[in-house]
């Protein structure tokens, strides 16, 4: 007998299948806590979910960048702080240290300067994860050569000691007079001339003033520049003076003081008033010559060290400058050092890009932070120069003028290391790096807040309501059980049974 209810059974079976699918989905929601496994399952909310997920990914990328750069900046902050302390300690030591050269020809302060130079080089060669922090854009290279190569050279390449010695010869000159010529003109006139017009070496006449009675002065005038001192009657009186000022190679000045005396022992910077103008002129010339030689060995030599350091420790695109010799003691100009004959102390990035901008990090859609640094920045190279000068100079304990030369050198080193000019100090670098750190912190806080908001919105869209899913699951189970019972009844229903 033909069974009835096949249509009803088909409908029930489809309902059972749908209920099973819904139950499986509810089971998945309860176990995973998610509304759907795919964006398609989110229905009309899928566009918003995709957008929020993209925003969350961007925030994560920015936060990873911030964390990485914060680590680098923390290391840089410690390094630059250590450099600042090293420079300060060296400046203080030059104030309290005395002049007692060891058998090496250097004082204990100079020996310590050599150790501090090595420490400074190590600090400037700091890297994090294989990235050099003070090499500008050349992050794969250590930016500063070793102290030994820097000072002593390598192979045929001259180091700083050789450059400094060549410059000293050029500044002091072959006769030790600082590239000046001193001569008599007639019986009563003394003439002091620069040797070559336009030469960068030696003393440069700056000014002349006097209260000497019976003396006529001219200059500095001419090309090359010169001064004249002409004696006549009446003769100078006791304790009257004449002053000559000079520009030195490092940009400083010095002034020589000559005093007339009528009798007694002749000291440095003094000349005896003679029986007449001619004799007085001879005495004046001799005193001036001795004073020039002494000043050339002291203040001029110390200034020459600074000039040599400026020539050698160049930055940016500037080339190392060397005396155009040999001979050096009569040279009249400088030349560019080459990669074949001169050590390059800094081998990092030498572009014209400002140092901070050699490393940029994007920390937000419209925000870049600049945090680069170069070892050849003036704040660092100034310190390296002074350490190199101290570590390179030598002195003879028995030398007549060596202690005065040491004092002149030490005064310049101390003044340079303690210079408060904001454009040169390490404090400025520390401040700029602190600004970058502050920007990173602020951006990180913004991203954390934004991430929390995005996470909340995504949770509302993607997270399933477990309680609701459980209630729906129980309801479906009840419906499914009823459907099974009805299906079973229909499967046994026939016309005979029905009748």
**Terminal-to-terminal C-alpha distance of the chain:** 12
Residue 375: CB atoms within 10 A of its CB come to: 28
What residue has token string 């020996």?
Answer: 111
Phi/psi at 362 (nearest 5 deg)? -85, 115
Tens digit of each residue's pLDDT (9 = 90 or more) over 413-467: 999 998 766 556 888 999 999 999 999 999 999 999 988 887 777 666 655 545 5
Return the higher-pLDDT residue of 50 and 4: 50
Contact 461, 48 (CB under 8 A): yes
Cis peptide before 307 (omega within 30 of 0): no
What pLDDT score was predicted for residue 418? 84
Tens digit of each residue's pLDDT (9 = 90 or more) over 243-292: 999 999 999 999 999 999 998 889 999 999 999 999 999 999 999 999 99
Tens digit of each residue's pLDDT (9 = 90 or more) over 326-340: 999 999 999 999 999
Q: Is the pLDDT of residue 468 over 60?
A: no
Q: CATH classification of 64-140+359-463 is 1.20.1330.10, yes or no?
A: yes
Neighbour-count burial of 311, counting CB atoms closer than 10 A to its CB (0-12 exposed, 13-18 middle, 19+ buried):
buried
Neighbour-count burial of 209, counting CB atoms closer than 10 A to its CB (0-12 exposed, 13-18 middle, 19+ buried):
exposed
- The model's confidence at residue 97, banded by pLDDT at 50, 70 and 90, is confident
Query: 443 Cβ partners below 8 Å, 6+ apart?
Result: 62, 66, 363, 364, 367, 369
Domain segments of the chain as ranges: 6-58+466-498, 64-140+359-463, 145-297+310-345
Tens digit of each residue's pLDDT (9 = 90 or more) over 116-129: 999 999 999 999 99
What pLDDT score was predicted for residue 22? 53
* CA triple 341-344-349, angle to 5 deg: 140
């Amino acid at each position: 007998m033909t069974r009835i209810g096949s249509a009803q059974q088909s409908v029930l079976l489809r309902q059972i299948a749908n209920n099973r699918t819904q139950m499986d989905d509810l089971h998945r929601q309860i176990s995973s806590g998610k509304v759907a496994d795919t964006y398609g399952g989110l229905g009309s909310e899928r566009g918003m979910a995709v957008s929020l997920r993209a925003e969350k990914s961007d925030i994560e990328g920015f936060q990873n960048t911030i964390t990485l750069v914060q680590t680098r900046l923390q290391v840089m902050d410690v390094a630059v702080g250590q450099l600042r302390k090293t420079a300060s300690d060296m400046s203080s030591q030059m104030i309290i240290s005395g002049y007692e050269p060891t058998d090496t020809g250097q004082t204990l302060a100079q020996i310590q300067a050599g150790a501090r130079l090595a420490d400074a080089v190590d600090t400037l060669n700091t890297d994090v994860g294989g990235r050099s922090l003070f090499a500008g854009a050349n992050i794969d290279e250590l930016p500063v050569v070793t102290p030994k190569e820097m000072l002593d050279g390598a192979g045929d390449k001259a180091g700083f000691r050789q450059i400094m010695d060549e410059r000293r010869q050029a500044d002091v000159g072959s006769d030790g007079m600082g590239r000046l010529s001193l001569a008599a003109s007639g019986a009563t006139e003394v003439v002091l001339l620069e040797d070559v017009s336009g030469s960068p070496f030696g003393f440069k006449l700056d000014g002349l003033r006097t209260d000497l009675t019976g003396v006529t002065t001219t200059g500095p005038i001419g090309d090359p520049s010169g001064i004249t001192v002409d004696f006549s009657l009446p003769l100078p009186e006791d304790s009257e003076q004449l002053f000559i000022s000079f520009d030195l190679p490092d940009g400083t000045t010095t002034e020589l003081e000559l005093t007339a005396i009528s009798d007694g022992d002749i000291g440095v910077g003094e000349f005896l008033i003679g029986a007449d103008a001619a004799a007085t002129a001879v005495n004046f010339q001799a005193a001036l010559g001795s004073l020039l030689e002494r000043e050339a060995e002291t203040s001029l030599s110390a200034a020459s060290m600074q000039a040599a350091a400026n020539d050698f420790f160049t930055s940016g695109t500037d080339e190392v400058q060397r005396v155009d010799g040999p001979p050096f003691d009569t040279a009249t100009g400088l030349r560019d050092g080459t990669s074949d004959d001169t050590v390059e102390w800094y081998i990092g990035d030498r572009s014209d890009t400002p140092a901070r901008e050699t490393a940029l990090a994007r920390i937000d859609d419209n925000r870049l932070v600049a945090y680069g640094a170069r070892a050849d920045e003036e704040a660092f190279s100034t310190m390296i120069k002074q350490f190199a000068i101290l570590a390179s100079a030598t002195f003879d304990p028995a030398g007549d003028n060596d202690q005065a030369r040491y004092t002149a050198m030490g005064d310049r080193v101390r003044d340079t290391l303690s210079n408060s000019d904001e454009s040169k100090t390490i404090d400025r670098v520390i401040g700029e790096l602190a600004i970058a750190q502050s920007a990173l912190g602020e951006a990180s806080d913004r991203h954390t807040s934004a991430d929390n908001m995005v996470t909340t919105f995504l949770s509302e869209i993607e997270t399933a309501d477990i309680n609701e899913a459980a209630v729906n699951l129980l309801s479906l189970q009840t419906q499914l059980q009823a459907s099974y019972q009805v299906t079973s009844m229909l499967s046994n229903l026939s016309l005979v049974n029905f009748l």
